[in-house]
Amino acid sequence: MQARSIARYVRMSPQKVRRTLRLVNGLPLKQAQSLLDVMPHRAARAIRRVIDSAAANAENNHGMDREELWVAETSVDAGPTLKRWRFASAGRVVMIRKRISHIRVVLSDEEQ
């Protein structure tokens, strides 16, 4: 059985979130949580929240045991990009893109 959780509109670049998410894919739940706790990346906090939410969904909605859960699938998609303008030299204007992510985590009770 699988349980999932999605965090939408997280104000981080999908590229930077993917870098952190790749490290926890396929790990047991406890190991993934402890690894995210010691990571210096800002994305680790957001990913930890999504994993905790998926674990709570598995426990409360599906009756799964927290000790047997594994991180089965992870994905990050790009959300809408906020476009801002900054003045540059010689009367020009440059666009700044503030990227947004949608983080998806699926936990399973079967080892991958």
Rounded mean pLDDT of 61-70? Answer: 93
Helix-helix angle 29-38:14-24, to 10 degrees: 130
**CB-based burial, 1-19: b 16+ in 10 Å, e otherwise:** ebbbbebeebebbbeebee
Rounded to two decimals, the pTM is 0.89
Percent pLDDT > 70 in the chain is 99
Say if residue 111's pLDDT is above 80.
no
Give the mean pLDDT of the chain. 95
Q: Which domains does the chain have, with CATH numbers?
A: 2-108 (3.90.470.10)
